[in-house]
Homo-oligomer: A and B are copies of this chain.
Amino acid sequence: MKAGPIELGEGKSSAPKAGVNRGMGILDFILRILAFIGTLASAISMATTNETLPFFTQFIRFRAEYNDLPTFTFFVVANGVVSAYLLFSLPFSIFNIVRSKAQNIRVLLIILDAAMLGLLTAGASAAAAIVYLAHRGNARTNWFAICQQYNSFCERISGSLIGSFIGVVVLILLILLSAVALSRHK
């Protein structure tokens, strides 16, 4: 054994080591389901958000929808893509539990996880920047805080960020788990 396990003790014999590997595989599976639920909930709750104000002028009907802002459309697409990826990665995660020696699949998963982490973080933080603007506005650029009018719209879009950021944290944990699992396999 050239490099020892960096955590969880020094399992010299084969049986406890396989048990730890299996435990890490199951944790990987659970985390993927958690991130899948988070990103799917984010995508759905953002995509179904709209609010029509109870007054209108002859020029404008005051109605806010998520696709009024291109950033929110990107947010929905990013969350949709990542949740689809997480769903399709579940069989590979199960395969890793059953055959814990399969290195190549783990390397593939770690690379795709990193790419999905990039996509999801991009969507979530771009949407967060716009939500912040909607809440606070910006005096220097004369961008007004639209949340003063669209209360429930703003609550929904703020809430839908939560699942997405849970997904980001879980994806970082998944990369961590895979890296540890890769280094343990000799």
Contact = CB atoms under 8 A, between A and B. Distances in A.
Interface of A: 2-4, 6, 64, 68-71, 101-104, 106-107, 110-111, 114-115, 117-118, 121-130, 132-134, 138, 140-144, 146, 168, 172, 175-176, 178-180, 182-183, 185-186
Contacts of A186: 2, 186
A127 to B, nearest CB: 8
Contacts of A146: 141-142
Nearest to A65: B140
Given A172-B118, A175-B111, A175-B175, A128 B130 contact: no
A11 to B, nearest CB: 16
B2 A111 contact: no
A128 B130 CA distance: 11
Copies of this chain in its oligomeric complex: 2
A114 B68 contact: no
Given A129-B126, A183-B107, A64 B6 contact: no
A132 B71 contact: yes
Contact of A179 (B101, B110, B118): B110
Nearest to A144: B142
Contacts of A107: 6, 179-180, 182-183
B104 A183 contact: yes
A100 B35 CA distance: 34
Contacts of A129: 71, 126-127, 129-130
Contacts of A123: 125
B111 A6 contact: no
26 contacts: A2-B101, A2-B186, A3-B101, A4-B104, A6-B107, A64-B140, A68-B141, A69-B138, A71-B132, A103-B183, A110-B175, A111-B172, A114-B172, A117-B117, A117-B118, A117-B121, A121-B121, A121-B122, A121-B125, A122-B124, A122-B125, A141-B144, A141-B146, A142-B144, A143-B144, A186-B186
